Amino acid sequence: MPAISADLRKLLIRTNLVIFPEDFVVVYLPSNIKAIPGEWFRSATTRFAVVIQEPKTITMIITRRKWMRMQNMFEKYEVNGPLKVITFDVKLSFAAKGYMAAIGSVLTEANISAVPISSLKRDHILVSKADLPRTVRVLREFLSSCKKKPSGSSKKNDSHSP
Cβ neighbours of 106 (radius 10 Å): 19
Q: What is the CATH number of the domain that holds 88?
A: 3.30.2130.10
Residue 116 lies in a domain: yes
pLDDT digits (tens, 9 = 90+) for 84-143: 999 999 877 666 688 889 999 999 999 999 999 988 788 999 999 999 999 999 999 999
Residue 152 lies in a domain: no
Domain limits for position 130: 6-146
DSSP 4-73: --HHHHHHHHH-EEEE-SS-EEEEEEETTSPPPPGGGG-TTT-S--EEEE-SSEEEEEEEHHHHHHHGGG
Question: What's the pTM value of the predicted model, to 2 decimals?
Answer: 0.85
Residue 88 lies in a domain: yes
Residue 134 lies in a domain: yes
**Predicted confidence (pLDDT) at residue 57 exceeds the cutoff of 50:** yes
**Predicted confidence (pLDDT) at residue 161 exceeds the cutoff of 50:** no
